[in-house]
Amino acid sequence: MSAQPSDTTDAKLAGKSLTPEVTWAQRSSTSDSSKNYVFLTINVPDVDPKKIKLDLKAQSLSFTGYSESKKADYHVALEFFAEIDPSASKTSHSARAVEFVLQKKELKEEFWPRLLKDSKKQHYLKTDFDKWVDEDEQDAAAEGDDDYMSRMGAMGGAGGMGGDGGFGGIDFSKLGGAGGMPDFGGEDDDEGDEEEDDEEMPGLGEAKKEGGKIEEVDE
């Protein structure tokens, strides 16, 4: 009997739960709740929406899903820096990722200093520079934000996944992690112990535009 190949995705990831890349950006407002939110993207390709398990609460989000193309289970649990309003938030699913617009509960001019309550750097967490703007440039980005969010579905009030497995009508207050999150063994990918300085949003002066792109620069 021939030995099982050790260099395949299935062999390397057997029994593991990998941490997906998570990207984020944000907007803030002191008077308009619809302009006071966090963009959050969980980058996992080819995940069947009917098999995704999500638990979104005021201060946390838990995601578990299986990537058909990667042949691997993915799991991430996030505890937010401050509270969000799950019922006013939105989501969208594609072949590449699960995206969220999470409405912040507190109206405030200042950006959150980071996405997570814990200030420790997380290797999987990145700034989404496609959506990121300085606090004083938010008005200029409003039209693009509206176009993006018009393609997303509301989370509240629909009572579950729906027959088509779509994400347009998830009621997270009822879903609430029903059935529990499966135990995949608790191991992260090979980079699980590494840390990168990507969690916190860059402050004013920490990013510059060059050649039409935003690049991080050291102060």
Strand partners, 23: 41, 126
pLDDT band at 14 (very low <50, low <70, confident <90, very high): low
**pLDDT attached to residue 181:** 32
In whole angstroms, how far apart are CA 8 and each of 11, 14, 70, 144, 219?
5, 10, 10, 41, 42
Is 1.20.1050.10 the CATH number for 9-181+198-216?
Answer: no
**Residue boundaries of the structural domains of the chain:** 9-181+198-216
Report how far residue 138's alpha carbon sits from residue 97's, in angstroms, rounded to the nearest whole number. 25
pLDDT band at 118 (very low <50, low <70, confident <90, very high): very high
Task: Name the least confident of 36-40, 70-74, 198-202, 204-208.
Answer: 204-208
User: What does the pLDDT average to over 33-55?
Assistant: 93
156-193 tens-digit pLDDT: 433 233 333 344 334 333 333 333 333 323 334 444 44
pLDDT band at 202 (very low <50, low <70, confident <90, very high): low
**pLDDT attached to residue 15:** 58
**pLDDT attached to residue 155:** 64
Q: 110 with 36: CB under 8 angstroms? A: no
Q: Is the pLDDT of residue 71 over 60?
A: yes
Q: 98 with 42: CB under 8 angstroms? A: yes
- pTM, whole model, 2 decimals? 0.67
**pLDDT attached to residue 156:** 47
Opening angle at CA 196, ends 190 and 202, nearest 5: 150
Amino acid at 210: E
